[in-house]
Amino acid sequence: MIKQTGAKLKASEAMWVVFSRGKLVIRENSLTIPVAYFDDLPFLASYTDDIHQLPPLNESAHRSTPVFVVDLGSEHIEEAGWERVSLRQLLVTEQDIAFSVIGRAWQYIHFLRTHQYCGQCGAKTDRVDWEMAVHCHRCQHRSYPRVSPCIIVSIHNREKTTASQRRQAS
Q: How many CB atoms are closer than 10 A to CB 101?
A: 22
pLDDT tens sequence across 113-151: 999 999 999 999 998 888 889 999 999 999 998 877 777
Whole-number average pLDDT of the chain: 81
Q: Could you tell me the domains of the chain?
A: 2-114 (3.90.79)
CA distance 63 to 101: 11
Nearest of 89, 64, 71, 79 to residue 27 by alpha carbon:
79
pLDDT at res. 137: 97
pLDDT attached to residue 170: 54
Section 5-32 average pLDDT: 84
pLDDT exceeding 70 applies to what percent of the chain?
A: 79
Q: Which helix (H) or strand (E) holds 104?
A: helix 103-114
| Residue-level pLDDT at 71 | 92
In the sheet that 126-127 helps form, which strands lie side by side, from edge to edge?
126-127, 134-135, 142-143
Q: Looking at the predicted structure, is the pLDDT value of residue 62 above 60?
A: no
Is the pLDDT confidence value at 96 over 70? no
| pLDDT at residue 108 is higher than 90 | no
Considering only 39-53, 89-103, 133-147, which range has the smallest mean pLDDT? 89-103
pLDDT value, residue 22: 86
Decide if 13 contacts 63 (C-beta within 8 A): no
Lowest mean pLDDT among 35-39, 65-69, 153-157, 166-170: 166-170
